[in-house]
């Protein structure tokens, strides 16, 4: 039986090197204490922000300086916990940083309260008097948008102090998933016994060519999730009810309006994404499901079969080195600066690709300001890994450029734009491979990888967003959120999308348990926004070449200095119109057309 290694047993070259953050635990702990001291010193500005522009600027600069340091200690703690969530010291470090952040938020809550209490015109006068405040224009403009929803200063301080408690649903979910969740071994048709895990299932077994492996892993995986069905339903319900309560407390018209405020995007765009894609994409994906059932020769297509390879014999193993080389070739169009960054990231141990007990599932990119990005992925020698790594390099390249051209305050864009640069890299990778060959099986393989990206963002994450929309409405109406309710709603959503082409079993109904995005505000729909934008942008790069690339690079450098729709407009994409959404759905249809022809 294949057994998973502990963190200490995996080859060091497959792990990331966190020394660029902190060389050892003692240095990190000393910095945590120093930040705590600096945090307390910030209260010296309390009650003085309305005195003059210089005082306001000094305070904003001082707060930002602590935020940069706080981000670094937070990243170090979370990355170590992500590499092995079973380590009690790693868990304690995350909890300690979370408590520090709560103290920092409580002690600096006066900043927003005092600025929002300025008499009309005072902030504008300060901005005119002190040129240095221009760096904080986006921050201050965003803050003024919150004025109608701001509570008394003492209340704001109390809420900020409760930050660690308010984040508890995500902490409970992630801690139990990484440390407590276990799966029974399973056996394939030949009698081979396999160990199972979240990473093993999602990186390997879910898309395995052998139906007995795929379905055995699915049974084991579903049984493991079921043990936490009621616990995670309670954490999900707590998160939703928290947001409903906060929206009402702050006098928003709805919970969605409250959660969309930091996204800087109209509610109409949010609903268009959800409605148009579900309605337009379902017929295409049902065609894909029927094709899959026919090619695989299955009597019925189970939910665990929807990622099975259609041409498994043409799925060569892709080593990490070969995958990196292919990505670099595809990103040449982005220019030397961008490619140099990508090369460094993949060669200098900024990527953690090991598979070990306790490692966080999925993939992500962390970008601590003033250091460099770190990427987590579990490498299993598949082409899907190559596309995932290209995706995370997109995040890293975006924030790497933003860090270089913007100060910390202006580095991060609002959430609806976050996924566009990452998915853009996947589109460029696909374009690069398809442009080099007309060979049917190669093109078919790449198209299935691209469809995997669309499935991930336009189906998996979008249907998460639909469940989120329904559950929020249920909570606002006073309904109870239980495991039975979540399973039933998720099953109904999947059935409506897939029709009679996919059998929705108990495991499928529990897929809401697999994603942490429900604890990140309205995150799930933003993947679809990013895919719509990147589909449009990749087409422009294909048509216009360097001109479009230069426009895109300028957008990445802008960081968070513009709202998401303005960033997309700068790149030449009008997301205020539903047309790009229709265009992206139609593109999926054309891909499936070619895939169907390839099997005729």
Give the DSSP per-residue string, 36-91: HHHHHHGGGGTT-TTS-HHHHHHHHHHHHHHHHHHHHHHHHHHHHHHH-TT-HHHH
* Rounded CA separation 344/175 (Å): 32
CB 242 within 8 Å of CB 343? no
Q: Are residues 151 and 278 in the same domain?
A: no
In a domain, 14, yes or no: yes
Domain assignment present for 262: yes
**Which CATH number does the domain housing residue 292 bear?**
1.10.1370.20
Are 156 and 252 members of one domain?
A: no
Of the three residues 109, 144, 166, the one that is the final residue of a domain is 166
Q: Which of 140, 166, 192 is the last residue of a domain?
A: 166
Residues 155 and 254 both lie in one domain: no
- 293 and 407 in one domain? yes
What is the chain's pLDDT, residue by residue, as a tens digit (600 residues)? 557 799 999 999 999 999 999 999 999 999 999 999 999 999 999 999 999 999 999 999 999 999 999 999 999 999 999 999 889 999 999 999 999 998 999 999 999 999 999 998 999 999 999 999 999 999 999 999 888 998 888 998 888 888 888 999 999 998 899 889 999 999 999 999 999 998 889 888 999 999 999 999 999 999 999 999 999 999 999 999 999 999 999 999 999 999 999 999 999 999 999 999 999 999 999 999 999 999 999 999 999 999 999 988 887 789 999 999 999 999 999 999 999 999 999 999 999 999 999 898 889 999 999 999 999 999 989 888 999 999 999 999 999 999 999 999 999 999 999 989 999 999 999 999 988 888 888 889 889 988 988 998 899 999 999 999 999 999 999 999 999 999 999 999 999 999 999 999 999 999 999 989 899 999 999 989 989 999 999 989 989 999 999 999 999 999 999 999 999 999 999 999 999 999 999 999 999 999 999 998
* 469 closest CA partner among 313, 270, 279: 270
Q: Are residues 557 and 448 in the same domain?
A: yes
Q: What is the pLDDT of residue 496?
A: 97
| 53-83 and 25-41 helices, crossing angle to 10° | 150
Three-state SS letters, 132-187 = HHHHHHHHHHHHHHCHHHCCCHHHHHHHHHCHHHHCHHHHHHHHHHHHCCCCCCEE
Q: What is the pLDDT of residue 1?
A: 52
Tell me: do 435 and 555 sit in the same domain: yes
Under DSSP, the state recorded for 302 is B
Structural domains in the chain (count): 2
Residue 275 lies in domain? 243-316+383-477+522-600
CA gap 132, 336 in Å, rounded:
33
Asked if residue 370 is part of any domain, the answer here is: no
Same domain? For 418 and 553 the reply is yes
Instruction: Examine residue 74 and state whether it is found in any structural domain, yes or no.
Output: yes
Q: Which of 145, 166, 187 is the last residue of a domain?
A: 166
pLDDT at 2: 57
As a whole number of angstroms, the distance between CA 232 and CA 240 comes to: 12
Q: Identify the residue whose tokens are 């959800």.
A: 274
Look up the CATH number of the domain holding residue 160. Answer: 1.20.140.70
458 within 8 A of 528, measured Cβ to Cβ:
yes
Residue 366 lies in a domain: no
pLDDT at 440: 87
Q: What is the 3-state secondary structure (H, E, C) of 367-423?
A: CCCCCCCEEECCCCCCHHHHHHHHHHHHHHHHHHHHHHHCCHHHCCCCHHHHHHHHH
Is 235 inside any structural domain?
no
Neighbours of 560 (CB within 10 A): 20
My answer on whether 434 and 549 are in the same domain is yes
Instruction: Tell me whether residue 90 is in a domain.
Output: yes
Q: Let me know whether 440 and 550 are in one domain.
A: yes
254 has which bridge partners?
none
Is residue 292 domain-shared with residue 148, that is, in the same domain? no
- Model's pTM, two decimal places? 0.84
CA–CA gap between residue 312 and residue 204 (Å, rounded): 13
Round to whole Å and give the CA distance between 223 and 183: 7
Residues 50/122, Cβ–Cβ less than 8 Å: yes
Report if residue 330 sits inside a domain.
no
One domain, residues 247 and 133: no
């Amino acid at each position: 039986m294949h057994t998973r290694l502990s963190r200490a047993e995996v080859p060091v070259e497959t792990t990331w090197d966190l020394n660029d953050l902190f060389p050892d635990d003692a240095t990190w702990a000393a910095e945590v204490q120093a930040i705590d001291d600096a945090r307390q010193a910030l209260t010296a500005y309390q009650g003085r922000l309305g005195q003059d522009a210089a005082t306001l600027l000094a305070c904003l600069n001082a707060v930002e300086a602590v935020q940069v340091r706080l981000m670094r200690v937070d990243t170090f703690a979370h990355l170590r916990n992500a590499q092995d969530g079973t380590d009690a010291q790693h868990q304690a470090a995350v909890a300690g940083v979370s408590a520090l952040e709560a103290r920092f938020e409580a002690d600096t809550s006066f900043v927003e309260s005092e600025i929002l209490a300025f008499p009309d015109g005072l902030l504008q006068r300060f901005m005119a008097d002190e040129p240095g405040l221009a760096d904080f224009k986006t921050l201050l403009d965003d803050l003024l948008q919150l004025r109608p929803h701001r509570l008394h200063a003492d209340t704001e301080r109390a809420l900020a102090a409760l930050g660690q408690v308010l984040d508890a649903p995500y902490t409970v979910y992630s801690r139990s998933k990484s440390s407590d969740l276990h799966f029974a071994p399973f056996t394939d048709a030949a009698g081979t016994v396999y160990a199972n895990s979240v990473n093993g299932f999602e990186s390997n077994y879910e898309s395995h060519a052998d139906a007995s492996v795929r379905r055995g892993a699915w049974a084991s995986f579903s049984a493991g999730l079921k043990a936490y069905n009621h616990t995670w339903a309670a954490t999900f319900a707590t998160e939703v009810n928290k947001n409903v309560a906060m929206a009402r407390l702050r006098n928003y018209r709805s919970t969605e309006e409250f959660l969309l405020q930091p996204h800087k995007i109209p509610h109409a765009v949010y609903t268009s994404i959800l409605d148009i894609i579900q309605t337009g994409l379902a017929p295409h994906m049902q065609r894909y499901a029927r094709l899959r059932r026919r090619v695989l020769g299955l009597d019925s297509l189970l939910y665990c079969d929807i990622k099975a390879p259609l041409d498994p014999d043409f799925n060569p193993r892709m080593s990490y080195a070969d995958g990196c080389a292919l990505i670099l070739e595809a990103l040449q169009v982005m220019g030397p600066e961008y490619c140099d960054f990508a090369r460094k990231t993949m060669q200098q141990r900024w990527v953690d690709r090991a598979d070990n007990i306790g490692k966080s599932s999925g993939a992500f990119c962390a970008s601590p300001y003033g250091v460099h990005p770190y990427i987590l992925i579990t490498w299993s020698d598949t082409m899907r890994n190559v596309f995932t790594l290209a995706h995370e390099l997109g995040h890293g390249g975006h924030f790497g450029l933003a860090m270089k051209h913007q100060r910390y305050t202006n580095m991060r864009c609002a959430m609806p734009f976050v996924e566009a640069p990452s998915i853009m890299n996947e589109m460029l990778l696909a374009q690069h491979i398809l442009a080099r060959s007309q060979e049917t099986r190669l093109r078919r393989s790449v198209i299935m990888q691209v469809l995997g990206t669309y499935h991930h963002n336009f189906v998996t994450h979008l249907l998460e967003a639909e469940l989120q929309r329904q559950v929020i409405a249920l909570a606002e109406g006073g309904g109870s959120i239980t495991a039975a309710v979540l399973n039933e709603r998720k099953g109904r959503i999947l059935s409506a999308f897939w029709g009679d082409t996919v059998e929705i079993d108990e495991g499928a109904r529990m897929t809401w348990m697999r994603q942490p995005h429900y604890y990140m505000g309205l995150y799930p729909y933003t993947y679809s926004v990013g895919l719509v934008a990147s589909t449009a942008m990749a087409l422009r790069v294909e048509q216009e070449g360097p001109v479009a690339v230069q426009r895109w690079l300028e957008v990445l450098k802008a960081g968070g200095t513009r709202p998401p729709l303005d960033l997309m407009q700068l790149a030449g994409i009008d997301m205020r119109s539903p047309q790009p959404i229709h265009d992206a759905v139609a593109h999926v249809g054309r891909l499936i057309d070619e895939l169907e022809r390839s099997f005729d």
